[in-house]
Amino acid sequence: MEGSPVTPPLEHGGALTTAVASADGRRVATAGGKKILLWSAARGWTPVALEHESNIEGIRFNPAGTVIASWTTRDKLRFWDTTSWTLLKESEIGSHVTSAVFSKRGTSLLLTTLFGSGGLWSLGKETPTRVLANVAFRADGARLSPDENIFVTWTRDGSLYVRDAKSGRALCGPMRHPDDTSVQGASFNASGARILSWDLAGTVRIWNASTCQAAGTPMQHPLVYAAEFTGTDDRVVTWDSTAVRVRDGMSGTALFPPLKLPSAIQTAMVDAASGLMLATTRQAAHLFNLADATSIGLPMPQGEALNGPSSALPDISPGHGVSRAPQPIGPFSKSDS
């Protein structure tokens, strides 16, 4: 299998802040300045412009690719219909966004912000509705469970909490990493019964989502970028700048020798259901089957791999299996509950 372009070059016409692809690879959004350009196969990759009044910080597709969420440096959140290109909803979010993630079903968007929770929006009706407003807990990031009933938050002081999605109330926690080391991210397994978290020192932990008790043996991966469950609830993939490791999550045992890349990983996406991983470097994109730690096909030259195996991989967004080197965020002033 050899990588080949699936779109013509998409020229934004100015400095680019971010770019994301929908999960099916049929839409791409680019953002820079106050402008979003929405590109789609249905329009022959001719863009439609969407505007904000201030500079755009981030954008996310919902899993179906039918809605885009975008937010700005002036703390405005907007939802857009990607079929009619119309504005569905605008909300004030009150603070700088630290993380934004759609649920896997695409019916909710969870935001965390610099000085509060940000909130939870339901997309189940015609107009997105805020179902959880700001509450006073610290959060550098969050991830919704697959059933959307709970979510996990984490902070740079090494603690995680499991929270009720309707109230934001802490159900259990804190779960703490050794020496209160800065937590970089967390995710749920497919059933929502377990949580995977990783910290700046390279410690990866599994937790029981109901009790917040540690499960299994701590795993070490120096300078770890991110971690995800893959294939089964007990199998974990971790990666740093040049190596990917697949382990048994309960024992921490390596299942295969590390997968080595020729240069530093820039981004990586993992699809737990298929067991596929797409890792990009500055030169090329590499597709791996994590079930047997084998490379699939030839490396795809960079610039040809934006959408990659898009039918099999999730949307390109923090907290959804994509990772870059950790970036510091802070400081904070509110205390956790």
pLDDT (tens digit per residue) in 269-323: 888 778 888 888 877 778 888 988 888 866 666 544 333 333 333 333 333 333 4
pLDDT mean over 182-195: 92
Is 330 within the bounds of a domain? no
Is 93 within the bounds of a domain? yes
Domain range for 94 is: 16-100
Is 82 within the bounds of a domain? yes
Cα-trace Rg, the chain: 19
Percent of the chain with pLDDT over 90: 32
Q: What is the pLDDT of residue 60?
A: 92
Domain count, the chain: 1
Q: What is the CATH number of the domain that holds 87?
A: 2.40.10
Q: Each residue of 126-141: pLDDT tens digit?
A: 678 887 765 666 788 8
Question: 41 — phi, psi (to 5°)?
Answer: -65, -35
**3-class DSSP assignment, residue 276:** strand
Cβ count within 10 A of residue 203: 20
Is 141 within the bounds of a domain? no
Q: What is the pLDDT of residue 2?
A: 47
Is 241 within the bounds of a domain? no
Q: Exposed (0-12), middle (13-18) or buried (19+): which is 222, by Cβ within 10 Å? A: exposed
Q: Any bridge partners for residue 190, and if so which?
A: none
Is 312 within the bounds of a domain? no
**Listed residue (174, 175, 124, 169) closest to 150, CA to CA:** 169
Work out the angle at residue 206's Cα, subtended by the Cα atoms of residues 333 and 312, and round it to the nearest 5 degrees: 100
**Integer Cα distance of 278 and 287 in angstroms:** 5
Is 214 within the bounds of a domain? no
Is 56 within the bounds of a domain? yes
pLDDT mean over 5-9: 67
